[in-house]
Amino acid sequence: MSGKKIRLMQITHDLAIGGLQQVVVNLCRAIDRELFDVSVLCLRDLGCFAPEVEAMGIPVRFIEQREGTDYLSFLKVARVLRENRIEVIHTHNTQPFVDGTIGALMAGVKTIVHTDHARDFPDKLRYMVAEWAMSQFAYKVVGVSDHTSRNLMRYEKISPKKIQTIMNGIDGNRFNITIDRDRKRKELGIRETGPVIGLGVRLAEQKGITYLLQAMPVVAASFPDVSLVIAGVGELEEALKKEASDLGVEANVFFVGPRLDMPELLKLFDLYVLPSLWEGLPMVLLEAMAAGCPIVATDVGGNSMAVTSGHNGSLIEARDPAALAAEICRLLSDAHLRDQYAQAGRAVFDSRFSAEIMTRQYEKLYLRG
């Protein structure tokens, strides 16, 4: 049986904390191991999820890079692909797409599948030109939302015949847990009582956290004991901490760093708030839905593919702290509506966003079905 398996390699920057990496991990977890002999190749670093993937019995390989930009990285990729007799590669975002595709062509790999996990278009011209060129050799280029797929056609001029939308999926079983809320509050060092709102993202401009902080004075005026938990790291961390202090809400805002216990945090949150400026289809919204955590998010990118405003969450305009504050206060004042959002969110997740649903669609591409 093992000789008949299709040798598939996932190629990514790393297996660090992030939505892209979660897709790779979930594909590894849900893929049909009777059909596919799967491995992972990291081009920049291994990352904290590498041990989890290896514990599944899936090899994780890492290519050492030169200092600065390694323009010959594709040669190393080609060697790995040849040595492992890989038949299908699945690349994730720009560098893996370029190095993976050139390496695959050199190594005689039969099928190239690529996923774009969304960014702010138009991107740098050299990246878009490179991706257009690589798309000529790819079997399919996947967008994680209809919005992402449209951007790939509009800005990179990738043929519509090449494009397919496959929405992200996650393992919902990880979120079927109960927690000791009081103990979790103490562990995080947040307020012992009062509502808890939060999010777990990179602390980067894309996520619009500044607008959430700007909303907090209004929220704290109505709910003085509210805790805002911000999980993650990023280049804006110090600036955001200073902003919380300048706004006079530092006593209500808690930066807890990168977390591997997001399922537990989501069970603690009364509300998940995602004030992004642009998105594809963010994994964090799917995680919140799976955990039964009510959502307030901005109406950008593919967010509306997951959240139907008024049904399983609330969508508001981006860059509008007043609207964000008003919606947070409205939901914190209405436990019944939060429960409705939570129940509807889990139902939508089960029907559309499981890792199994996502993986079956990718398997068809790997098989050229």
pTM for the full model?
0.81
Per-residue burial over 3-16, b if 16 or more Cβ lie within 10 Å, else e, is eeebbbbbbbbbbb
Phi, then psi, of 152 in degrees rounded to 5: -65, -40
Alpha-carbon distance of 364 to 369, in angstroms, equals 5
- Buried b or exposed e, range 36-69, using 16+ CB within 10 angstroms: bbbbbbbbbebbebbebbeeeebebbbbeeeeee
Task: State both tokens at 322.
Answer: 């007043």
Residue 369 CA to residue 362 CA, distance in Å, equals: 10
For the chain, 369 residues long, give each residue's pLDDT as a single digit of tens: 445 899 999 999 999 988 899 999 999 999 999 999 999 999 999 999 999 999 999 999 999 877 767 778 999 999 999 999 999 999 999 999 999 999 999 999 999 999 999 888 999 999 999 999 999 999 999 999 999 999 999 999 999 999 999 999 999 999 999 999 999 999 999 999 999 999 999 999 999 999 999 999 999 999 999 999 999 999 999 999 999 999 999 999 999 999 989 999 999 999 999 999 999 889 999 999 999 999 999 999 999 999 999 999 999 999 999 999 999 999 999 999 999 999 999 999 999 999 999 999 999 999 997
Q: Rounded distance, CA 257 to CA 4, Å? A: 44
DSSP character for 282? -
Q: Cα torsion at 19, 171, 152, 113 (round to 10°)?
A: 110
Taking alpha carbons only, the member of 191, 186, 13 closest to residue 115 is 13
What pLDDT sits at residue 356?
A: 94
Report yes or no: 315 and 294 within 8 Å, Cβ to Cβ: no
Quickly tell me which residue has 């890989």 as its tokens.
86
pLDDT of residue 106: 98
Predicted pLDDT of residue 2: 46
